[in-house]
């Protein structure tokens, strides 16, 4: 006879249990995908670009490359320097360097109150939306085909 299943609900994070679950998911992914196995062994290659003026950090882009993709994680420009092309310059520089790293695609996520139109103007296409996340806003997932830039 088998024992009954028990569901345990915890309202506080248990780091050990969370770590165990994460390791199990990663192990499964590694077994199913050589791509996941390789990226976990090697890691993505950081690609960070900073804009400095008068010894002050006025903008920056945090990203990494892996699997032939540039993953744009964070883009920030100081308010006084926005809307003058600095954000575009940072993204275009990252794309150029990603091409040198043999990347074919870029991915980025942004909220409706952040920059979906900015990315559209740079040639990105929306590939997914999560409406009302957070409430009253939308999360956008976008990508750009860098290979088409080579033509």
Domain 44-150 has CATH 3.40.630.30: yes
For 81-128, give the secondary structure using H, E and C. Answer: HCCCCHHHHHHHHHHHHHHHCCCCEEEEEEECCCCHHHHHHCCCEEEE
**What are the tens digits of pLDDT across the range 116-143?**
999 999 999 999 999 999 999 999 999 9
Residue 88 structure tokens = 């575009």
In tens, the pLDDT along 72-116 reads 999 999 999 999 999 999 999 999 999 999 999 999 999 999 999
- Considering the entire predicted model, what is its pTM? 0.85
Summarised one tens digit per residue, pLDDT across range 32-64 is 988 787 777 777 899 999 999 999 999 999 999
**Would you list the domain boundaries of the chain?**
1-43, 44-150
Bond into 134 cis (ω within 30): yes
């Amino acid at each position: 006879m088998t024992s009954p299943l028990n569901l345990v609900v915890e309202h506080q994070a248990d780091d050990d249990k969370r770590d165990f679950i994460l390791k199990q998911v990663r192990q499964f992914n590694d077994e199913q995908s050589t791509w996941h196995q390789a990226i976990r062994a090697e890691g993505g290659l950081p690609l960070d670009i900073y804009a400095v003026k008068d010894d002050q950090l006025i903008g920056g882009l945090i990203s990494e490359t892996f699997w032939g993709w540039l993953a744009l994680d964070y883009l920030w420009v100081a308010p006084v320097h926005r809307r003058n092309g600095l954000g575009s310059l940072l993204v275009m520089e990252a794309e150029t360097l990603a091409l040198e790293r043999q990347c074919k695609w870029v991915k980025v996520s942004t909220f409706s109150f952040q920059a979906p139109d900015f990315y559209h103007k740079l040639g990105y296409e929306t590939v997914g939306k999560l409406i009302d996340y957070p409430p009253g806003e939308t999360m956008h997932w976008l990508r750009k085909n860098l290979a088409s830039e080579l033509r």
